[in-house]
Amino acid sequence: MSSRVLYAKPSITELEIRYATDAVTNGWGDKCYEYIQKFETMFKQHLGVKYAISTSSCTGALHLGLAGLGIGPGDEVIMADTNWIQSAAPIIQLGAKPVFVDILADTWCLDPVKVKAAITPRTKAILAVHLYGNLCDMDALLAVAEPHGIAVIEDTAQGIGSVYKGKRAGSIGRFGVFSFHGTKTITTGEGGMFVTNDDALYEKVFTLSNQGRARGETRQFWSNTVGLKYKMANVQAAIGCAQMERVETLIKRKRGIFFSYFNLLKTIDCLQMNPISDVPETQPGYWMPTVVFDKKLNFDPYKFLETLKQNNIDGRVFFYPLTMMPMFEAKKENVVSYDLYNRAINLPSYFEISEDGIKRVVDVIANLIKEKTRSSVAV
């Protein structure tokens, strides 16, 4: 059988191993934060922001940021229905309510018109998730939010490498959060980052992240408030430092994988892929190349995953609308969200995937479309 085509796998080199080994060997005592501080500095310089706080997960970073904004019971946060559950989880854990609106059919990100219609006196934030590295229309969202004094937050868990009008995704809103899960473009195994340019918000989040201990407090074990603990380990940060030294190479490779798929698939009818922006200085990061099949093909994502598996290829389904899940009230008026999930697949995009591996995936897609088209003609 041909070699397995993985859907995701990090790019780990001798550099990451060397830094991690140094952290394990020497990163203790008064050196226990050295790689953490270095990683935060490298990340904020890459992003062009004033502040960065590393965390144990993107979920933790989002929880800290929302808490820093004072979001709590009775408040509402508008977000896209098509999402991973952890974008909504911290909102609920703080006692606030996620308000789910529909997405745009081309970017699969928040529809600004739907966002505007969903604003109420209780709305405290808009959560802009750059899904699969695609980009939200940040100018439109900021314009909707500004008259109401609403914070626009960027969930950039999947958006490292994405650039919006010359600004890196995550650096535009009131704050941004990132994921370094093992599937992401930059990884520390698990981990996340909170970033902001807001001085006052940074101080609040710093205190919360430091278990309630304010900067400059001289009393040992004295907390000024009840805080949280989402700290990143020094050894994780060491891996992150190595990844940041290679960040442009990793981003370039992700884009290269997407365009290898795009160039092979663009002549095949009945498919849509991640958008290619025509806005100046705007470029998606293409974390996860994705295909959406035409409605007339009557596509079944789980049958297709089984076909991929038979060819020793991995894949992933598209995100479900969150309001389909039992903990939320259904919102079938979110027609794009309720349509896309059942006819889309995330394609393998690990860093070492070969052109032959990409061609194998494309051949399975092409054969499926031929079979579906033949069946529809026969009927």
SS3 36: helix
Residue in the block written with tokens 């479900």? 320
Exposure string of 313-343, with b = 16+ CB inside 10 Å and e = fewer, is bbbbebbbbbbeeeebeebeebebbbbbbeb
**CA-to-CA distance for 42 and 243, rounded, in angstroms?**
10
For residue 240, give the H/E element and its range.
helix 234-245
Residues marked as catalytic = 184
Cβ atoms 56, 231 nearer than 8 A? yes
315's tokens: 């894949």
166's tokens: 């010359």
Work out the widest C-alpha separation in the chain, in whole angstroms: 80
**CA-to-CA distance for 227 and 84, rounded, in angstroms?**
26
Q: CA-CA-CA-CA torsion for 342, 63, 40, 128, nearest 10 degrees?
A: 40
185's tokens: 């473009």
Q: CA-CA-CA-CA torsion for 362, 345, 170, 68, nearest 10 degrees?
A: -160
Helical H segments across 266-334, by residue range = 301-310
Enumerate residues 6+ apart whose C-beta is below 8 A from 28.
none
Number of other CB atoms surrounding residue 97 within 10 Å: 17
CA distances (Å), origin 249, targets 254, 307, 350: 9, 32, 14
CA distances (Å), origin 75, targets 93, 122, 124, 153: 12, 5, 6, 15
